[in-house]
Amino acid sequence: MTENILVLLETTPSGSLTTSAAGLLGAARAIGTAVALVVGDDDGVASGEAIAAGAERVLLARADRTQLTVPVVDALDAAFARVSPAAVLLSHSVDGRDAAGRFAARRRLPVAVDAVGVERDERGVLARHSAYGGGYDVTSASTFGPLVVTVRPGAIDARATAVDGAAVETLEVLPSGVPAATVDHIEPLVASSTRPELRGAAAVVSGGRGLGSVEGFALVEHLADALGAAVGASRAAVDAGYVPAAAQVGQTGVSVSPKLYVALGISGAIQHRAGMQTAQTIIAVNKDPEAPIFALADLGIVGDVFTVVPQAIAALEAKRS
Amino acid sequence: MKIVVLVKDVPDTWGERTLDLETGLARRDASEHVLDEIDERALEVALTFADTHPDAEVVAVSMAPESALPTLRKALAMGAHSAVHVVDEGLHGADLSLTAEVLAATLARTGFDLVITGNLSTDGASGVLPAMLAEHLRVAHATSLSTVEIEDAAVSGTRTTETATARVSAPLPAVISITEALPDGRFPTFKGILAAKKKPFETLSLADLGTDADPARTPWSIMTAVAARPARAAGTTIVDEGDAGERLAVFLLENRLA
Ligand SMILES: Cc1cc2nc3c(=O)[nH]c(=O)nc-3n(C[C@H](O)[C@H](O)[C@H](O)COP(=O)(O)OP(=O)(O)OC[C@H]3O[C@@H](n4cnc5c(N)ncnc54)[C@H](O)[C@@H]3O)c2cc1C
Ligand SMILES: Nc1ncnc2c1ncn2[C@@H]1O[C@H](COP(=O)(O)O)[C@@H](O)[C@H]1O
């Protein structure tokens, strides 16, 4: 028998699993027996999705969703006691990080954060990281005992398929009584139904301060749609209010590693490069020939985005029809 | 109201950051170190509150080598009332769990109504520390806040995650972390820089905190392999002569990217 890998799956406010579930379960199945923990209402939606994505066993715990993180950690602690896993995998999302932090502190376990892969050798579970903006590949492990791993959303391509006879078990949880913040009101973010998510996207088109305005930034969206790409941005574009903060690529934003990255009106500051320099192919359009982004670009175009990009979109459309 | 702001000494993001390929640890000699920008914003939240609440006390706390003194001095010059510097040889290469344990012991000793941290440090970017501290201290946490309102007995704000935006509130004492949506830190004034030299400054060792860094006591997260990726080579750069858009489309199609 292989060792258990406990996976905390996150649910959206509407009760289905978030998109990180497939990668987490894919990663877990590759190194052991995937035991999923779903914390939420028992309407069967999330546990069914977990089984479809490869969970071999699902633990279902109810929790007070108005209390931030603590009930989830109480459930995680109970699940850990039940299955004695070799590793606990969570998403490196805001909620996943909070749960990982509290849980690791409670059990005094080591944490490996922002992993882009997990492996195992004869000594135990290893986490792979892409450090300092992709400048280094680092592997980490626990000196002894289980490792808590937060996994970068979108970084894992491995997918698992459903196994026959996957069981759903109810997990009783004793509340720890640790004080928690209250969620007074929650507003789900409406994701674009047509565009891919930035994390894990195969192609990304990003815009910077060079787009000049919210109206100007629409050009980034047009090219993204022509390429079936996700939309990203520099911090300057976020600060200027052209796009929501969730689109920020870079050191303090999202790290992406797509097949194609197109930077429009972005100078290529070191903090921006830290979030995109591992892309396979980089294209940049900037009117300043000295812009540092050109040092990374496979194809650099010195020109005005407002003339180059509409011409490119028209050419793509012409070639298609 | 006693507000503790956790400030981290990090490699300046404007320079190249390097890892030692032998130890896997950040090379401190390779780049200049600064007070992390996100922690300047955290300090700004505390100082803005203190500006209108004369009884508020702001303490800056950092766990870092001796060379991080300028970072704590800067926090004092910006307006923190006192600083606590945790320095110990045994903390060299400390992992997140040990860092959290030591910072929690420091916070327990210093005392606090509210702890403010950055959501993600620019070097570690782990973002798990605030929740770890809250658990060790058995208090509530509210992380990734893009707005913060501090009251006598509670702290509340807007918490944005990948899937939702929520209004959250936590009873004090609590740990919060803030995002870069909050304003930049203020610049130290000349008066502030002079005053910083006279402010209370405490240096603590592991022994002072009644703890140790014994690797046999608790498991550590360690690096087992480190490799530098080859630098990226630049490709072709062309200057638009009226047809660059067409050439962009051709490049995308030829490389099967469109
Ligand atoms: C601690 C820290 C963390 C940071 N984290 C991030 C991060 O995560 N992500 C990030 O992006 N930044 C980050 N930054 C900010 C970063 O330093 C830069 O300020 C930012 O990336 C600049 O964005 P930009 O390239 O859009 O703007 P600018 O640097 O102002 O560049 C705009 C570019 O647009 C070009 N341009 C203007 N008009 C046109 C036109 N019509 N056609 C073509 N080109 C045009 C200009 O030539 C210029 O090169 C961080 C900074 C710090 C200090
Ligand atoms: N060594 C440290 N000393 C003081 N504060 C720290 C330290 N490490 C992390 N922090 C705080 O925790 C926040 C999040 O850090 P991290 O979990 O490393 O992303 C930082 O913005 C700091 O406020």
For A12-46, write each residue's pLDDT tens digit.
888 899 999 999 999 999 999 999 999 987 778 99
* Spatial CA neighbour of A79 closest among A95, A97, A55, A43: A55
| Distance of CA A236 from the midpoint of ligand 1 (Å) | 5
Count of CB atoms within 10 A of residue B257's CB? 17
Q: What is the pLDDT of residue B20?
A: 82
Q: In this model, does residue A319 exceed pLDDT 90?
A: no
Whole-number Cα distances in Å, B8 to A17, A78, B65, B75: 35, 34, 11, 10
Taking only the tens place, the pLDDT of each residue in B26-73 is 777 778 899 999 999 999 999 999 999 999 999 999 999 999 999 999
Tell me which DSSP letter residue A235 carries. Answer: H
User: What tens digit of pLDDT does each residue of B91-115 get?
Assistant: 999 999 999 999 999 999 999 999 9
CA nearest A18: which of B59, B85, B162, B23? B162
B64 within ligand 2 shell (Cβ under 6 A): yes
Query: Over 90: is that where the pLDDT of A321 sits?
Result: no
Q: Is residue B127 in contact with ligand 2, taking CB distance under 6 Å?
A: yes
Helix (H) or strand (E) holding A308: helix A305-320
Instruction: Answer yes or no: do B143 and A98 touch at CB < 8 A.
Output: yes
Find residue B3's DSSP bridge partners.
B58, B114
B135 touches A: beta carbon within 8 Å? yes
User: What is the CA(A209)–ligand 1 centre distance, in A?
Assistant: 6
DSSP codes joined into one string, A150-175: EE-TT---------TT-EEEE-----
* Predicted pLDDT of residue B16: 80
Ligand 2: centre distance to CA B98 (Å)? 12
Closest CA to A20 of A136, A157, A154, A122: A154
What is the pLDDT at residue B116? 98
**Does any CB of chain B come closer than 8 Å to the CB of residue A141?**
yes
**pLDDT tens-digit profile of A117-138?**
999 998 899 999 999 888 899 9
What pLDDT, in 10s, does the model give residues B118-155?
A: 999 988 879 999 999 999 999 999 999 999 999 999 99
Helices (H), A12-142: 20-31, 45-52, 70-83, 94-107
Mean pLDDT of A252-281: 96
The whole model's pTM is what? Answer: 0.96
Angle at B185 between CA B142 and CA A254, to 5 degrees: 60
Q: Tokens standing for B218?
A: 């608790």
Beta strands in chain B (DSSP E): 2-6, 9-11, 33-35, 57-63, 82-86, 114-118, 140-150, 154-160, 164-171, 174-178, 201-204, 221-228, 236-239
B100 lines ligand 2 (CB under 6 A): no
Does the distance separating the beta carbons of B226 and A136 come in below 8 Å? yes
The pLDDT of residue B227: 94
C-alpha B258/C-alpha B243 separation (Å) is 18
Q: How confident is the model at residue A1 (pLDDT cuts 50, 70, 90)?
A: low
Query: What's residue A43's pLDDT?
Result: 77
Cβ separation of B95 and A315 shorter than 8 Å? Answer: no
Chain segment B224-257, per-residue pLDDT in tens: 999 999 888 889 999 999 999 999 999 999 999 9
As a whole-number percent, the residues of chain A with pLDDT over 70 amount to 99
Q: Whose CA is nearest to atom 48 of ligand 1?
A: A267
- Residue matched to tokens 């715990």: A61
Provide, as residue numbers in chain B, all residues whose Cβ is less than 8 Å from the Cβ of A299. Answer: 235-238, 248, 251
- pLDDT value at A192 more than 90: no
> Are A224 and A282 in contact, with CB atoms under 8 Å apart?
no
Contact B179, B160 (CB under 8 A): yes
Q: Does B168 touch chain A (CB under 8 A)?
A: yes
Mean pLDDT along residues A92-107: 98
A126 in contact with chain B, both atoms CB, cutoff 8 A: yes
pLDDT in tens, B162-199: 889 999 999 999 999 999 999 999 999 999 999 999 99
Q: Which residue has the higher pLDDT, A234 or A13?
A: A234
Q: What is the mean pLDDT of residues A167-186?
A: 96
Contact B38, A252 (CB under 8 A): yes
Rounded-to-integer distance, Cα B102 and Cα B96, Å: 10
